[in-house]
Amino acid sequence: MYQVLIVIHALITIALIVIILVQRSSSDGMGLSGSASGSFMSGRAAATFVTRATAILAGIFILLSLGIGILTAHNHDHASGSIMDKLTSKPAPQAVPQAPVSQPAKPAAPSVPRPE
């Protein structure tokens, strides 16, 4: 089931890319319909068809993406945790034992009183 959804998702993605590239831009770059009078569809009909096809493919793409995400989350093994849990659950490195630091000797009190 999962592999079938992935294949359909890939096909929809390719179709969406193609239909977006075929759309007529404001500069008439890669327009679907040419200016030939004997074309299959008029410019307006082609634009309506391409716009509608783009919207439908985008909707299917979004629904498939959500479906695959839900299916993946449902089949995910919760006992293994997430990737972030695996990264943060590593044991902390052991601290290197250091020799105890001895306190420096306190200076002795002056034996000679200071004159004031």
d(CA 116, CA 113): 9
Any domain includes 80? no
Looking at the chain, how many residues does it have? Answer: 116
Task: Provide the token pair at 85.
Answer: 């849990």
What pLDDT is attached to residue 12?
96
Any domain includes 84? no
Handedness of CA 90, 91, 97, 101 (dihedral sign): positive
Residue with tokens 């601290």: 95
Any domain includes 87? no
DSSP notation for 33-46:
S-S-TT-SS-HHHH
What pLDDT is attached to residue 78?
60
- Quick: pLDDT tens for 39-50: 555 556 667 888
- Quick: pLDDT tens for 87-103: 765 566 666 667 666 77
The whole-model pTM stands at: 0.52
Q: What is the mean pLDDT of the chain?
A: 75
Any domain includes 13? yes
- 31 has pLDDT over 70: no
Number of structural domains found in the chain: 1
d(CA 40, CA 49): 12
Any domain includes 108? no
Expressed as residue numbers, the domain containing 7 is 1-28+42-75
Any domain includes 115? no
